[in-house]
């Protein structure tokens, strides 16, 4: 045996050597190292006790194994498996086999026979379970191979009768993952021996072990996920499991019922103890509603969550969920429904609101009153006042989803949602505000509801207030008192929390534009104008006054009679605000005033917008240029850049496009600075597509070529140039591989020509390369940059620290002081990994701080909010001094490149993905006054 193994080890060695020889052809170097399997074998032979062997195996498992040596390792492991007496070592080997068979690039069908073989001789239940797990791994690696799957399913079925729950669990898992999907196909392949996987799994719904029951249900769900259509007969089985003693079984059963109800919503099921029938989805809805008052909160969360996605349920069942007292069994169709209404109004039960109304009254029909069975009844009332906030949140979410699909339900659930604004847990409040915003299209708030809603504005949590502003943006208010109330509350909020300024203005903008007719009667009062007397001109810098004006101007946009009520200074203020806060103040048609003739007449559709035309024209003009050399065209470029930048400042909606184009032009102009600029383009904008990425990379390549030329001109000697040339050629090669699909778009471009000449470049000397590049750069044409559909510039504003404080932050040197940083980020993709905080000390020392992922909130699409703490520390200073805090956008040039198959094939370690190549500052720096004092003795 030993000799045999030795031979195997040598084989392994020779194999590696052969690979080296192959690799010589591709000019790559690789370190020779002993084969994994050989090392493992030696280790395992050395092991004297099972504990030792286990240690070796554990160590071995920590290191990855290359695809080519997997098979050898597997053989070694199997050899040891046969010899091993200790079950724990066998267990570890079995688990290693499973791990190894998952290795990419390794086809595990060769292990399968061995694995099945050892499975048959194994006695230990734990090892058996582990082996089945390994088989599962093998099976999932070979999804195409029908025969293997059939065989594995057979093995699983055989072990289903094992006495250990662990083994049965794994068998069911295997069946769920590998059970044949298309029975007909299997029939042809295997003849009569087809097993009905669903039936087999279904039998284990009544296993004596709850863990096995859970596994059976999960396997069934797995089958469903893999696309197998479950039989309707399962529904009844699953319903029985709802009253199981164990929570995990009930939780899984709820899921299964939900799945079946989505598959057969319209089929009819009989109601037990009556001869009537209802739709299956309604029945399932009732059952899941009943689970909202289950004893285990895990089940309650599960049930509440699933309720939200049952949109096909009939409306009268839906509405029951909001009333606890509709006690009758409503399932008995219409007659019963009406009877229940009577019951409700006659009040068999008292509500607990009045004293003495709980004396039992005459019963109407005892048979119809059913406290338990009418499951749907009051499900949400229970869910919303549940003990655990997880359940409450799930209930609110479900309420939201159902309300979105049913306007009448939305109207009904409004009161409940408004009540949730007073929940004791902030997350629940926040969730219910968000929910309300989502369904706000379907509802109009009454005044008393608005009152409750607005009361939340005083909440000390910023997230809540901001969410509420968002909500107010899209609510419908029914009366002018409502608008007034909202304005008053918002202004109160503004004085209490001045940092909410922007969000409040934005909120008022939408409030104004939504309710012009309601604002109109309020205008004189709001502007405090008087019919006869001129009143004092309000202070233009008062945020509250601006807020009022924002409301009025936005209302005036669709209400032409309103400007007649304005006084002179209002018009002046309009002109000022229109220019300074153009995103909040719309263009108004002001008849008979000079101010109307402002350059920006009201735009009718965005396409005819002159500024948009202007943008197009200037870009076309630039693109018509063929070469970079002539002096005139450079000037033109400079002008165009300036124009575009100004345009971006004026028109916020075009800012993205204009800015983007301007940056591109500047790149053309300033090839030297291009390195940074290209990185900026690549990482500061969201919505950039691969087409643009190609061009950006192309640009970078050109810049690198230029850099090469410059260096070649200025340095003496040839040696450094060799390295540079080679590096450059590698870059070209890389570019070609990454963007091979996009190359046809780059006709006549620099890279197109470069690739034509590639063979020549490879062999020529650096000086020649430089010369070729130089001519090519001259000849290359200007690439047209296709604008993507949507492009947004990443930006950040630091709200806190405000940088206005004269009081230095004092702390003892050597210790740390925590500085609260609060910033809003717009259009940053994946801020958790890209946004960093930089602190610059006066001595030039710079510190980059990585905020925690939990510090980022996501209040709306494309917006993020960073609330974090930055720790500052320094040695003692004599004077207080300012440090600069700014936000950086970190990038890694590989991340935007479309993944080509060869990158996916090789396993990139996660560290490469997150590494940072460079950073771009994208916020204005804020100065913080600090003073590290010397420590007292």
Residues making contact with another protein (CB under 8 A): 161, 163, 203-204, 206-208, 245, 293, 295, 324-325, 327, 349-356, 358-360, 366, 369-373, 378, 381, 384-389, 416, 419-420, 422, 424-425, 452, 455, 458-459
Q: Give the nearer residue to another protein in terms of CB position, either 349 or 545.
A: 349
Cβ-count burial 180-196 (b if 16+ within 10 Å, e if not): beeeeebeeebeeebbe
Show the tokens assigned to 635. Answer: 């000037």
CB contact at 8 A, 478 and 447:
yes
For another protein, the closer CB: 49 or 351: 351
The residues, any chain, with a CB within 8 Å of residue 100's CB and separated by 6 or more, are 65, 70, 73, 74, 77, 106
Give the nearer residue to another protein in terms of CB position, either 299 or 549: 299
Q: Considering the complex, what minimum distance in angstroms separates the CB of residue 203 from another protein?
A: 6
Please tell me whether residue 718 adopts helix, strand or coil conformation. coil
User: For another protein, which is the closer residue by CB, 351 or 535?
Assistant: 351
> How many C-beta atoms surround the C-beta of residue 383 within 10 A?
26
**DSSP character at residue 477:** B
Cα–Cα dist 49/781, whole Å: 73
Q: How far is the CB of 248 from another protein (least distance, A)?
A: 14
- How far apart CA 833 and CA 847 sit, in angstroms, is 17
Q: How far is the CB of 67 from another protein (least distance, A)?
A: 42
Shortest Å distance, C-beta 272 to another protein: 13
Give the shortest CB-278-to-another protein separation in angstroms: 20
Q: Given the complex with another protein, which of 204 and 922 has the nearer CB atom?
A: 204
Distance CA 111, CA 537 (A): 87
CA distance 698 to 783: 9
Dihedral angle sign, alpha carbons of residues 35, 37, 42, 47 = positive
Q: Which residue number, 385 or 653, has a Cβ lying nearer to another protein? A: 385
Q: How far is the CB of 307 from another protein (least distance, A)?
A: 17
What 3-state DSSP class applies to 450? Answer: helix
CA pair distance 149, 180, nearest whole angstrom: 7
Alpha carbon distance 414, 445 (integer Å): 8
Expressed in angstroms, the distance from the first to the final Cα of the chain is 75
280 touches 266 (CB < 8 A)? yes
CB of 295 to another protein, least distance (A): 5
Q: Nearer Cβ to another protein, position 413 or 699?
A: 413
Supply the minimum distance, in Å, between the C-beta of residue 366 and another protein: 7
CB of 458 to another protein, least distance (A): 6
In whole angstroms, what is the distance from residue 5 CA to residue 9 CA? 6
Considering the complex, what minimum distance in angstroms separates the CB of residue 213 from another protein?
9
Tell me the C-alpha distance between 840 and 130, whole Å: 55
If the CB atoms of residues 324 and 745 are measured against another protein, the closer one turns out to be 324
Task: Kindly state the smallest distance separating residue 457's Cβ from another protein, in Å.
Answer: 10
Distance CA 375, CA 284 (A): 10
Tell me the C-alpha distance between 442 and 412, whole Å: 11
Smallest distance from another protein to CB 429, Å: 12
420 or 523: whose CB is closer to another protein? 420
- Yes or no: say if 821 and 870 are a contact pair by the CB < 8 Å rule: yes
Q: Which is nearer to another protein, 185 or 818 (CB)?
A: 818
| CA triple 908-909-913, angle to 5 deg | 80
**At closest approach, how far in Å is the CB of 330 from another protein?**
15
Alpha carbon distance 139, 117 (integer Å):
15
Q: Which is nearer to another protein, 425 or 711 (CB)?
A: 425
Contacts of 483 (CB under 8 A, 6+ apart): 477, 511, 515, 518, 519, 522
Q: How many CA atoms lie within 13 A of 734 on its CB side?
A: 14
Q: Which is nearer to another protein, 210 or 880 (CB)?
A: 210
Gap between the Cα atoms of 637 and 614, Å rounded? 15
In degrees and rounded to multiples of 5, residue 445 shows phi and psi of: -85, 135
Cβ–Cβ < 8 Å for 538, 560: no
Nearer to another protein, 240 or 778 (CB): 240
- Round to whole Å and give the CA distance between 664 and 678: 8
Q: Which is nearer to another protein, 207 or 659 (CB)?
A: 207
Q: How far is the CB of 244 from another protein (least distance, A)?
A: 9
């Amino acid at each position: 045996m030993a000799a045999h193994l030795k031979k195997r080890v040598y084989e392994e060695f020779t194999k590696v050597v052969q690979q080296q020889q192959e690799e010589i052809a591709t000019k790559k170097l690789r370190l020779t190292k002993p084969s994994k399997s050989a090392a493992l074998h030696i280790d395992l032979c050395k092991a004297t006790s099972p504990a030792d062997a286990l240690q070796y195996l554990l160590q071995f498992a920590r290191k990855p194994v290359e695809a080519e040596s997997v098979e050898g390792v597997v053989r070694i492991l199997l050899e040891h498996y046969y010899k091993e007496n200790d079950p724990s070592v066998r267990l570890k080997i079995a688990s290693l086999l499973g791990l190894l068979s998952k290795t990419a690039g390794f086809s595990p069908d060769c292990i399968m026979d061995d694995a099945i073989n050892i499975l048959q001789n194994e006695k230990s239940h734990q090892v058996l379970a582990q082996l089945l797990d390994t088989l599962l791994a093998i099976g999932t690696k070979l999804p195409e191979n029908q025969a293997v799957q059939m065989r594995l399913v057979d093995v699983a079925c055989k072990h289903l009768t094992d006495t250990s729950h662990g083994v049965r669990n794994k068998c069911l898992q295997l069946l769920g993952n590998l059970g044949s999907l298309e029975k007909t196909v299997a029939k042809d392949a295997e003849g009569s021996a087809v097993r009905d996987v669903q039936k087999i799994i279904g039998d284990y719904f009544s296993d004596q072990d709850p863990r096995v029951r859970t596994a059976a249900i999960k396997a069934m769900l797995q089958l469903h996920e893999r696309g197998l259509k479950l039989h309707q007969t399962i529904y009844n089985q699953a319903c029985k499991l709802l009253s199981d003693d164990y929570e995990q079984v009930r939780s899984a059963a709820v899921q299964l019922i939900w799945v079946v109800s989505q598959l057969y919503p319209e089929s009819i099921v009989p109601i037990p103890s009556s001869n009537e029938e209802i739709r299956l989805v309604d029945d399932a809805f009732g059952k899941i509603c009943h689970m909202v008052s289950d004893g285990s909160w895990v089940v309650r969360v599960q049930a509440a969550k699933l309720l939200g996605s049952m949109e096909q349920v009939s409306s009268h069942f839906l509405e029951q969920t909001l009333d606890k007292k509709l006690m009758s069994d409503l399932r008995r169709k219409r007659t019963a429904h009406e009877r229940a209404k009577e019951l409700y109004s006659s009040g068999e039960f008292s509500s607990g609101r009045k004293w003495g109304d709980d004396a039992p009254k005459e019963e109407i029909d005892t048979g119809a009153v059913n406290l338990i069975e009418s499951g749907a009844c009051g499900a949400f009332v229970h869910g919303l006042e549940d003990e655990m906030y997880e359940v409450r949140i799930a209930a609110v979410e479900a309420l939201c989803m159902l309300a979105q699909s049913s306007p009448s339900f939305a109207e009904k659930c409004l009161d409940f949602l408004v009540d949730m604004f007073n929940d004791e847990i902030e997350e629940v409040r926040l969730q219910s505000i968000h929910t309300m915003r989502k369904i706000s299209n379907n509802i109009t708030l009454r005044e008393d509801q608005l009152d409750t809603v607005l009361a939340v504005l005083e909440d000390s949590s910023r997230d809540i207030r901001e969410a509420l502003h968002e909500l107010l943006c899209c609510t419908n208010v029914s009366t002018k008192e409502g608008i007034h109330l909202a304005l008053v509350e918002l202004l109160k909020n503004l004085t209490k929390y001045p940092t909410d300024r922007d969000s409040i203005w934005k909120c008022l903008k939408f409030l104004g534009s939504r309710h012009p007719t309601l604002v109109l009667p309020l205008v004189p009062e709001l502007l405090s104008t008087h019919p006869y007397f001129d009143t004092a001109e309000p202070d233009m810098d008062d945020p509250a006054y601006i807020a009022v004006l924002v409301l009025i101007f936005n209302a005036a946009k669709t209400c032409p009679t309103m400007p007649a009520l304005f006084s002179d200074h209002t018009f002046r203020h309009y002109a000022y605000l229109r220019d300074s806060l153009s995103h909040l103040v719309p263009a108004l048609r002001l008849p008979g005033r000079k101010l109307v003739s402002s350059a920006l007449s009201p735009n009718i559709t965005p396409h005819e917008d002159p500024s948009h035309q202007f943008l197009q024209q200037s870009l076309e003009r630039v693109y018509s240029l063929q070469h970079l050399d002539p002096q005139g065209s450079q000037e033109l470029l400079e002008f165009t850049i300036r124009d575009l930048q100004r345009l971006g400042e004026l028109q916020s909606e075009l800012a993205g496009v204009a800015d983007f184009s301007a940056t591109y032009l500047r790149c053309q102009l300033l090839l030297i600075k291009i390195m940074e600029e290209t990185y900026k383009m690549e990482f500061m904008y969201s919505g950039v597509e691969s087409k643009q990425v190609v061009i950006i990379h192309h640009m970078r390549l050109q810049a690198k070529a230029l850099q090469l030329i410059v260096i070649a001109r200025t340095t003496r000697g040839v040696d450094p140039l060799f390295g540079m040339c080679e590096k450059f050629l590698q870059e070209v090669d890389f570019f070609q591989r990454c963007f091979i699909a996009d190359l046809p778009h780059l006709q006549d471009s620099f890279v197109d020509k470069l690739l034509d000449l590639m063979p020549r470049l490879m062999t020529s000397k650096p000086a020649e390369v430089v010369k070729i590049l130089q001519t090519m750069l001259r000849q290359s044409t200007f690439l047209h940059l296709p604008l993507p559909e949507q492009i947004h510039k990443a930006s950040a504003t630091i709200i806190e620290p405000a940088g206005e404080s004269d009081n230095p932050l004092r702390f003892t040197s050597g210790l740390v002081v925590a500085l609260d940083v609060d910033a809003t980020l717009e259009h940053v993709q994946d801020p958790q990994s890209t946004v960093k905080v930089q602190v610059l000390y006066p001595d030039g020392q710079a510190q980059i701080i990585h905020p925690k992922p939990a510090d980022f909130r996501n209040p709306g699409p494309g917006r993020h909010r960073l609330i974090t703490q930055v720790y500052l520390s320094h040695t003692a200073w004599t004077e207080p001094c300012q440090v600069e805090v700014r936000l950086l956008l970190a990038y890694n040039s590989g991340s935007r490149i479309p993944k080509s198959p060869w990158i996916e094939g090789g396993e990139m370690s996660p560290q490469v993905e997150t590494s940072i190549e460079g950073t771009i500052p994208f916020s204005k720096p804020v100065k913080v006054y600090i003073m590290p004092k010397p420590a007292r003795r």
